[in-house]
Amino acid sequence: MRIAILGATSQIAKDLILSFAEHSQHDLVLYARCPEAMTQRLTDRHLAQRYTVADYAAFTINEHFDAILNFVGVGNPAQAAAMGASIFDVTLQYDELALSYVRQHPTCRYIFLSSGAAYGASFDAPVDANTKATVPINNLQPQDWYGVAKLHAECRHRSLVQLPIVDIRVFNYFSQTQDMEARFLITDILRAIRNKTVLKTSSDYIVRDYLHPSDFHRLVMALLTTPAANAAVDCYSKSPIDKPGLLQAMQNEFGLRYEVTESHASINATGGKPHYYSLNQRAAEFGYQPQLTSEDGVLKEAAAMLQAPPSAVGKP
């Protein structure tokens, strides 16, 4: 299978490329704004001779692809906040790049990396197959823009019912290539462990469902090998984990020291989400069966990060 990957330097794309390299013989063409950086990453992993790297100007409808995977976007809340309203233009630009190809080659599958944020900003309870997306249309705030951009793309995709387009809604994803300086609860925890400091965290109760790279690879492979469809699926592990459980697990495994304080404030670039995960398991219809729980995946990847030298953390 010949696969084009747009946004190949994103964290989740880099992890997927390594999974492809380990488990398949797919012919990958990796598109990035900085091809040199992508080539260097492949060289570091001894993969430079295996895959083609190109900038977006080289993408053309005259090439043959069996699938296009679009990872263009941001995965860091601080980056999302800094990007602001321009996220609409960036999302639309690269989505249209892929759609233009698929319109000309309707047998080519298109997988778009969406987000749980497409449901809206309210996650007082986990979403499920009957949850409706909510948009504060008369009071849009900057933290809404990321989710609305994803929702807009999904609406476009569902309108093209005849084309094989699947949107993958990622809620929480964690791997050893995560940027340790990103402002997530899990990276705050890891920095505290690495620096031997006390984590200051709020008393807010939250639940997260951390997807492991191996399960993301299983999901993508399921979508690429089952009959083509026009659909959206939510990501999920074998089971989520709440904040007290995560803190306890990290304390037991790595000696985390933490203190609950009401004065601590976190970055909510896409809105506060106490139960940011999904009970919608439509992906099972495509043959997806996760192998790891959130706790399993986090402990496995955290161990790899904490054993690596500081200069290597965040590199593929």
Q: What is the CATH number of the domain that holds 135?
A: 3.40.50.720
Half-sphere exposure of 141 (CA within 13 A, CB side): 9
Give the residue carrying structure tokens 């190949």.
8
Residue 309 lies in a domain: no
- pLDDT (0 to 100) of residue 76: 55
Residue 214 is part of which domain span? 2-175+210-238+277-293
- From start to end of the chain, where are the E strands? 2-6, 27-31, 52-54, 67-70, 109-115, 165-170, 172-173, 198-201, 207-208, 210-211, 231-234, 241-242, 257-260, 275-276
pLDDT band at 96 (very low <50, low <70, confident <90, very high): very high
Whether residue 9 lies inside any domain: the answer is yes
Whole-prediction pTM value? 0.91
Number of helical H runs and strand E runs in the chain? 9, 14
Rounded CA-CA distance 198/220 in Å is 38
In residues, how long is the chain?
316
Determine the average pLDDT of the residues in 247-256. Answer: 96
Report if residue 134 sits inside a domain: yes
Residue 315 pLDDT > 50: no
125 lies in some domain: yes
> Which pLDDT belongs to residue 80?
67
User: Coil, helix or strand for 276?
Assistant: strand
Is residue 195 assigned to a domain? no
Rounded Cα–Cα distance for residues 174 and 186 (Å): 8
Q: Between the CA of residue 248 and those of 86, 232, 295, 299, what are the distances in Å?
A: 39, 34, 11, 12
pLDDT tens digits, one per residue of 158-214: 999 999 999 999 999 999 988 888 878 999 999 999 999 999 999 889 999 999 999
Inside any domain, residue 302: no
What residues contact 155, with CB distance under 8 A and at least 6 apart? none
Rounded to 5°, the CA angle 19-157-5 comes to 25
In a domain, 183, yes or no: no
Task: Assess if residue 185 is contained within a domain.
Answer: no
Cα 162 to Cα 298: distance, rounded to the nearest angstrom: 38
Task: Give pLDDT tens digits for 276-311.
Answer: 999 999 999 999 999 999 999 999 999 999 985 544
Q: Is the pLDDT of residue 265 over 80?
A: no
Taking the C-alpha atoms of 269, 154, 285 and 277 in order, what is their torsion angle to the nearest 10 degrees?
10
- Asked if residue 188 lies in contact with residue 201, where contact means CB atoms within 8 angstroms, the answer is yes
Give the count of domains, the chain: 1
Q: Which of 155-169, 243-257, 262-276 has the lowest mean pLDDT?
A: 262-276
